[in-house]
Chain A
Amino acid sequence: MADIALKSTNVTKYFHDPVTLPVLKNISLEVKKGEFVSIVGKSGCGKSTLLYVLSTMDRDYEGELEINGLKVTGKSLNDLARIRNESIGFVFQFHYLLPDFTCLKNVMIPALRLGKLSAKEVEAKAYEKLKMFGVEEQALKKANKLSGGQQQRVAIARALINDPAIIMGDEPTGNLDSKNTGIVFDLFQKLSKEFGQTIISVTHDEDFAKRSDRIIEMADGEIKSHG
């Protein structure tokens, strides 16, 4: 069991507005460490909702969730924040960088929050991550001065700064052209193969999904195939 990064058991979730409606029905899934999983499905099938439940940000569900063998269901908000900070990295469709900060600071902030390394060490590490994505030249520019592709690469570098066990993507390439999509995909693959990081990504991009290790297909709040 030690190689299970994330496990959900009978996760069920309802939307209450305007009427109570189940969006996730008894979802049970396991993701191994170092696995690169894509979740696909039509719009409204509940795949993003599932991702936010798995991310610990959404606590309004029934069932149980384990991350790295640790039960996270029912933990306090502050504990969950700490868990996210330490072991989950996020990449969203939009970059969501903080525009008032330089790219370097944006990357550094989660690590400074974690507080395990000194500011100097964090800075060195942030540079290293930016270099991985070829945006080290932009390090000292304000985040809003970059092109869309560069911003998304900085955002991914930010997701990786604390070397999280799990990286979650909500359509991470949704806003990128094919060239940048390729770069991001190669990096994700490298992270899972070489660094053993688990990647769970919701995507509409069929090419992207096909090239990942496993595809989980969803429809109407249920998993149709575990791939």
Chain B
Amino acid sequence: MNVNTEIALTYLSARKKQTIIASLGVMFGISMFIFMQSLMKGTNDYFEKMSFNNTPHIRMYSENKVADNHMMTSFLNDPSVKILTNPKQLIQSQGLTNPYGIIREISSKPEIANVTPQVTANVIYTSGSVQINGNVAGVNIDEEDKMFDVQSNMVTGDLHALNWVNNGILIGRGIADKLSLHTGDNITVTSGTGSPTIMKVVGIFATTVKQIDETKSYANIVQAQNLLGKDRSYVTDLKINLKDYNKASQVARDLETMTGYRAEDWVRANEQLKAAFKIRAIILNSVIGVILLVAGFGIYNILNMTIYEKIKEIAILKAQGFSGPAVTSIFLQQAIYIGLMGGIIGICVGFGITYMVSRIYIGAGTLKYLPMSFYIPHYIEAICFGILTTIAAGYFPARKASKVDPVTIIRG
């Protein structure tokens, strides 16, 4: 063992209490770091997954557009000729033109995992004299389930019944509660353009989002087309899932240029979710920063005190031929050992806290336990941060020690 290391270790073990308190500071910082990172990643992952339960990676739909003259103006060279396509004046089709052709086209792209058509209809649900507004998603329920795991949200009933029960409908729990409906009951659904239709509740689902549960229902795509009084080629949305959802914004742009329809990726659709991720990250990182800062000051203080106390010994070491860098190394090593010790204990405690918290029952909606992630890089980051903090905190006292002038100290 190097003599500097030996001296550093002896100093640490001669002042056990202070050493332990200093490393407890680091331990606290590191375990909080791990706990908070795990909680953050856990919740972020959970919310991301949740958002994919409702939103596809890309949603393609036809947007109401106000007239865009520039192509014709450049063709005719006469700006006095106008196109009137303002949807207020001229009724446009809400649907996509040739949806199944688009689906075939899109499906052949290698980034795409799934494409499914949907007919969205704004409707009024009526049962007895009670009415509520909402929307029906006309889907192919098997594909829908594959993409969004509808099954995991089911409370009662069977979602596959949509395939064989004529006029079947799956309703959100909020609708069921407000209209006091159970599986097997009938409900009247009226859209703006079609005639009222009596449908049969074949299942009830509950997401964690109250607003969805109180408005949304699923029906077979053909049923939805009937509700709206439209033909079989009427499709309002294409829901597209990708193999890698991180490429969504890129692919969405490609699809927009390819089809001319608007393709909205999940990031744009969930901007508030992304903002929440960012805010959470800022809050947690500043808390962690403060904790590590406090731990660092603890180490700084303790080393500073040690140096005041040991200033004569430092002078003697220098008189005996310990150079400035050797003295720096002695004190910096003390800081590093405090950091390592605190770091290792902190990792264990952090894991323990994370594990314990992940067993706390929450029971809100589909969220049973707090979502915690056990993500190895967090632990590596934590120990790196801990050691960096201690080095930073130890460096200044160590440098001070290395600058002790033996003559002034020994002569008094």
Contacts and interface: CB of A to CB of B under 8 A. Distances in A.
Interface string A96-135: 1011110001000110111100010000000000000000
A81 B3 contact: no
A109 B323 contact: no
Given A57-B406, A109-B3, A113-B326, A48 B411 contact: yes
Interface in A17-44: none
Interface residues of A, number: 31
A105 B7 CA distance: 10
Contacts of B318: 57, 81
Q: Is the interface of A mostly helix, strand, loop or mixed?
A: helix
Contacts of B7: 98, 109
Interface in A67-100: 77-78, 81-86, 88, 90, 92, 96, 98-100
A14 interface: no
Given A101-B10, A109-B7, A85 B320 contact: yes
A52 interface: yes
Interface residues of B, number: 25
A210 to B, nearest CB: 26
Contact of A96 (B3, B11, B312, B325): B312
A113 B322 contact: yes
B324 interface: yes
Given A98-B313, A100-B11, A100-B14, A85 B321 contact: yes
Contacts, number: 69
Contacts of A77: 323-324
Contact of B319 (A90, A99, A100): A90
A186 interface: no
A84 B10 contact: no
Interface in A39-58: 48, 52, 55, 57-58
B83 to A, nearest CB: 84
B179 interface: no
Interface string B300-313: 00000000000011
Q: Is the interface of B mostly helix, strand, loop or mixed?
A: helix
Nearest to A98: B313
Contacts of A96: 312-313, 315-316, 410
A113 B320 contact: yes
Contact of A109 (B1, B312, B320): B320
Given A48-B411, A57-B407, A109-B3, A81 B322 contact: yes
A78 B325 contact: yes
Nearest to A83: B321
A58 to B, nearest CB: 5
Given A92-B410, A112-B3, A81 B11 contact: no
B361 to A, nearest CB: 51
Given A58-B407, A101-B10, A114 B324 contact: no
B6 interface: yes
A112 B1 CA distance: 10
Contact of B321 (A81, A100, A105): A81
Nearest to A162: B321
Nearest to A114: B321
Interface in A177-220: none
Contacts of B322: 81, 85, 113
Given A78-B325, A109-B3, A84 B320 contact: yes
Contacts of B315: 96
Contact of B323 (A48, A78, A99, A119): A78
A78 B320 CA distance: 12
Contacts of B312: 96
Contacts of A48: 411
Interface of B: 1, 3, 6-7, 10-11, 14, 312-313, 315-326, 406-407, 410-411
23 contacts: A55-B319, A57-B319, A78-B323, A78-B325, A81-B324, A81-B326, A84-B319, A84-B321, A85-B320, A90-B320, A96-B312, A96-B313, A98-B7, A98-B313, A99-B313, A105-B6, A105-B10, A109-B320, A113-B321, A113-B326, A114-B321, A115-B3, A158-B320
The 7 closest A-B pairs by CB, nearest first: A85-B321, A112-B3, A81-B323, A100-B14, A84-B321, A78-B323, A96-B316
